Amino acid sequence: RNDPNDGEINKFGLINCSQLRFRVRAALFTFCLRDQQINICKQTFLEPSK
């Protein structure tokens, strides 16, 4: 599944942040915190894939 959000996230070097969102929201934030890219993950987490 190729989502526009996934492409944007991959650009920043995140590991399928949007995909993680579907599995566990908590894990998503944890991953973002570790990558220090909370802003990017936060946007994806708040805005669902269109």
Tens-place pLDDT, residues 1-48: 455 444 454 454 555 555 555 555 556 556 655 655 555 666 665 555
Question: Would you state the pLDDT for residue 9?
Answer: 46
Q: Would you list the domain boundaries of the chain?
A: 4-46
Q: Is 8 exposed, middle or buried (0-12, 13-18, 19+ CB in 10 A)?
A: middle
Question: Would you state the pLDDT for residue 6?
Answer: 47
pTM of this prediction exceeds 0.95: no
d(CA 26, CA 31): 9
Question: Would you state the pLDDT for residue 33?
Answer: 59
